[in-house]
């Protein structure tokens, strides 16, 4: 440990984290290239080749030239994902509420039929209660 000073450890860690951040940025740029619907096939191929052959320069130029669009596409995708999630919640909650209402109505009618069969209520009372439940 004596031959590798503490300051060198910090510099190594700094460069390692910067490299990891650059990799994240590279993958973000590549996914944005494929996600962009305004860019045609040749444009996507050109940016991808530029980012693969000259990665540092390609990513830097892409972020400078199309960085604002990247942010807008990210915000749009997040907004669409949130709206799809909210719609899923509304559908699921609506389905559950309808299922619970159907189950409770069915249970109530079964209970009434059981009471009528036992003779606890008359046919006329059964029809009145049934009409009230189904209304």
Indicate the number of domains in the chain. 1
Task: Assess if residue 80 is contained within a domain.
Answer: yes
Is 66 contained in some domain?
Answer: yes
The parent domain of residue 85 ranges over: 6-99
pLDDT tens column, 24-46: 999 999 999 998 888 899 999 99
Q: Which residues of the chain have pLDDT under 50?
A: none
Angle CA 84–90–94, to nearest 5: 145
On whether residue 122 sits in a domain, the answer given is no
| Strand, helix or coil for residue 120 | coil
95: in domain: yes
Domain assignment present for 119:
no
Residue 36 belongs to a domain: yes
**Model pTM score:** 0.57
């Amino acid at each position: 440990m004596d031959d590798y000073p503490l300051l060198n450890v910090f510099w190594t860690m700094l460069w390692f984290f910067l490299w990891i951040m650059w990799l994240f940025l590279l993958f973000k740029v590549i996914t944005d290239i494929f996600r962009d619907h305004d860019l045609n096939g040749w444009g996507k191929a050109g940016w991808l080749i530029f980012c693969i052959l000259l990665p540092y320069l390609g990513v830097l130029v892409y972020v400078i030239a199309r960085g604002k669009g990247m942010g807008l596409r990210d915000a749009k995708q997040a907004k669409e994902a949130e709206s799809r999630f909210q719609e899923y919640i509304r559908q699921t909650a609506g389905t559950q509420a309808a299922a619970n209402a159907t189950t409770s109505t069915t249970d109530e009618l079964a209970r009434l039929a059981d009471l009528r069969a036992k003779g606890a209520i008359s046919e006329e009372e059964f029809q009145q209660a049934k009409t009230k439940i189904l209304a």
